[in-house]
Structure 1
Amino acid sequence: MPIAPRRGPVALAYRVLVLPGVIAYLFTVSIVVLAADRFWLVDLLTFAWPYVVVTGALLVVAALVTRRIKAIVMAVAGLAVALIPAADVPTARLSTAASGLKVLSANLYVLNAQSPETFIDLLRREKPDIVVMQETTRRFVDAITAARLFPYESQFDPSTRDGIKVYSQLPIRAQTALQRAFTEEDAYKQPLRLELDARGKPLFLYAFHPETPRRLWQWRDRNDYLAAAADAVKGDLEKAPVIVAGDWNTPTWSPFFRNFLKQAGLASTAGGWLQPVTRFSLKLAPLAYIGASIDHIAVSPDITLTARRIGPDFGSNHLPVIAELSLPES
């Protein structure tokens, strides 16, 4: 005897929306997880990955409402696949010890119209030991230097160093621009490497600001930038602790972020898939911070994390990242 098909709004939603939706979702997240390291447009989807995960959770709820095993299994499988990138990120060890070093990283935004005093007030409140800035303009450099908050600063002109500028309470022993071979015609960006004096012991600091991958050549150059820096960091790890901070233009969920950490031997100070947005749309800012987490602070395994948080808006399209760290005794 033939079985009559189920009818009603739930059955209709299952056939028209839920089942096609979970199939498309499972296919899409599987492609991204498997192929984002090979295809530019696929990797760009990782910038929206938290929203992709939320979509997967909603599809699981919708599948449960339909009570169809096929939809439930595929929805749960899709959500599980979407969570893989976050689960694969090496994260820094937590510590209850008092913070010995506070690092603040901020992209100042070259078109920032607010007074530098807003950012300087943040520095006065937070009292960071190290400040790593990107898209730094002469207006901000003059104001921060005049405030006399830091006895040491990087000597490279930020206008010729891709807007990278570092201020420090720790003495700067040496600073160099990492020299990497360029494979793209318009490539020019180089990480800034500083050797700091941490209570008589060396501490290496890398300041990052690779290309934003809006175009294919920029995506390739960003990936080359991270790969070259990873090799340099790995060499420095044999000598002293390492901190890498800046606007990486690479979301936490990109395979290139994970590959860098594993290749360099570092750990992210942020963990989990639900991370605060650090780069957001200024047009949507009055409603909510809609964007991606692309500003990072990573550390060597011998550095532990006491606290990490996102700072307040200061007129940029990025929010500052603040990490309180504990350095090894030896």
Structure 2
Amino acid sequence: MTYLSTALKVVAALLATATFLPLIPTNLGFVRSLDFPRLQIAVALVGCIVALLAISRDASALVLSAAMLAALALQASHILPFTPLAATQAKAADTCDAGDRGSLLVLNVLQSNRDYAVALDLIERQSPDIVLLLETDAGWQSAMAPLRVRYPNQVEQPQDNTYGLLFYSRLPLRDPTIRFLLQEDVPSLRTTIVLPGGEAVTFHGLHPRPPHPGHSSAPRDAELVMVAKEVAKTKGPTIVAGDLNDVAWSRTNQLFQNLSGLLDPRQGRGLFSTFHAQYPVARWPLDHVFFSEHFLLADMQRLGDIGSDHFPISVSLCRAPHAPARQDAPEASKEDHRDAREAIEAVQ
């Protein structure tokens, strides 16, 4: 029992440390990666608290249990906004005219995945207005050629470094541009999409590099801040989508929303965890669709496995004149603007 108690105390200390470390303002990849498994850490905390108190009530066990309860409360504060227990941030559309509705499919295909037919079948069945495919190389570009018939407007940037992107739209595009905002081998897309009713919507497709042990989060954070500030200046209807390599509850994501004023349809609805498709116990929300207050949410789904390590995510939006009156767009504070400056300075 002594050995088990000691082992549980070590685990308790590690779980508490893993919870509180991300509070440190740092770009260290190891620390920032701990933002990702908050749900998994929360579940482990519950189990460890119950197990430790069941076999030990000495002073150190009680202190560690109190620390774990505090850690659990902190983890819950991050996760609960992305459950049905919280209020929705992006409101649902009751009805939507065809000319005001647009649908988007985002899919990180996993570059080494060669189940091209599965992806094509999914796109055909879903029939979205626009498709954003990430981690696409020349093989994926060639395999997606049939899409060019149904989607006459394309932007293709295949790359063999897992950061290629392919974009297909049945809606007209204006000034589509591939940009390399911070790193010369990590592209992003900016374009204007014309809705069936004739209104122009600014679209950003992103896939920044992730933080991980030994790799700083600074480039990812700075790219998100740069796009957020650009969105804030645009002011019109806007959509930002992609594999952001960041979880919905992170400080960087909150900063992105506050600076851009964009809404997250996950809030009040669910996690919609898209990664890792093959490992249910290690799964969190990495693929995102944010949109401005000009839209209401018509539908949102996490779709099935297509052989990638990511699940596809599908979102349908309704452009509604009354939408801004129904929704409260996030706003940036002085601290947010300070953090944004520091994020950009960190990569200069």
Query: Which residue is 2:108 aligned to?
Result: 107
Aligned equivalent of 2:243, options 247, 250, 269: 247
1:260 equivalent to 2:256? Answer yes
| Counterparts of residues 55-204 of structure 1 (less than 5 Å) | 55-62=44-51, 65=54, 73-86=66-79, 92-98=89-95, 100-114=101-115, 116-148=116-148, 150-159=150-159, 162-178=163-179, 180=181, 182=182, 187-198=184-195, 199-204=197-202
Query: Which residue is 1:31 aligned to?
Result: 21
Question: CA–CA distance in 2 between the matches of 1:57 and 1:19?
Answer: 14
Matched AA of 2:176: Q
Q: Residues 220-279 of structure 1, C-alpha deviation per residue, up to 9 Å, x if partnerless?
A: 22222112111111112x2x2111111111122332222212221112222379734422
Q: Residues 143-168 of structure 1, C-alpha deviation per residue, up to 9 Å, x if partnerless?
A: 43424563333334434994112111
Aligned residues: 308
Q: Residues 195-242 of structure 1, C-alpha deviation per residue, up to 9 Å, x if partnerless?
A: 011111111111011113246555322222112111111112x2x211
Given that residues 108 and 316 in structure 1 are in contact (C-alpha distance below 8 angstroms), is that contact kept between their aligned partners in structure 2?
yes
Rg (Cα) greater in structure: 1
Instruction: Output the TM-score relative to the length of structure 2.
Output: 0.76
What SS class does the counterpart of residue 292 from structure 1 fall into? coil
Query: Which residue is 2:43 aligned to?
Result: 54
Matched AA of 2:289: I
Question: CA–CA distance in 2 between the matches of 1:15 and 1:142?
Answer: 58
Q: Residues 7-43 of structure 1, C-alpha deviation per residue, up to 9 Å, x if partnerless?
A: xx6xx589535555445433431222x1165432110
Given that residues 37 and 255 in structure 1 are in contact (C-alpha distance below 8 angstroms), is that contact kept between their aligned partners in structure 2?
no
Q: Residues 29-63 of structure 1, C-alpha deviation per residue, up to 9 Å, x if partnerless?
A: 1222x116543211011222221121122234336
Instruction: Output the TM-score relative to the length of structure 1.
Output: 0.80
Taking only aligned residues, the RMSD between alpha carbons, in angstroms, comes to 3.2
Question: CA–CA distance in 2 between the matches of 1:65 and 1:324?
Answer: 49
Q: 1:66 to 1:97 in 2, by over 3 A?
A: farther
Given that residues 152 and 172 in structure 1 are in contact (C-alpha distance below 8 angstroms), is that contact kept between their aligned partners in structure 2?
no
Which region of structure 1 is more displaced relative to structure 2, 34-43 or 214-223? 214-223
Q: 1:31 to 1:218 in 2, by over 3 A?
A: closer
Question: CA–CA distance in 2 between the matches of 1:218 and 1:14?
Answer: 36
Given that residues 129 and 168 in structure 1 are in contact (C-alpha distance below 8 angstroms), is that contact kept between their aligned partners in structure 2?
yes
Identity between Structure 1 and Structure 2 (%): 22
Query: Which residue is 2:219 aligned to?
Result: 221
Question: CA–CA distance in 2 between the matches of 1:271 and 1:24?
Answer: 29
Question: CA–CA distance in 1 between the matches of 2:269 and 2:66?
Answer: 22
Query: Which residue is 1:5 aligned to?
Result: none
Query: Which residue is 2:328 aligned to?
Result: none
Question: CA–CA distance in 1 between the matches of 2:274 and 2:45?
Answer: 23
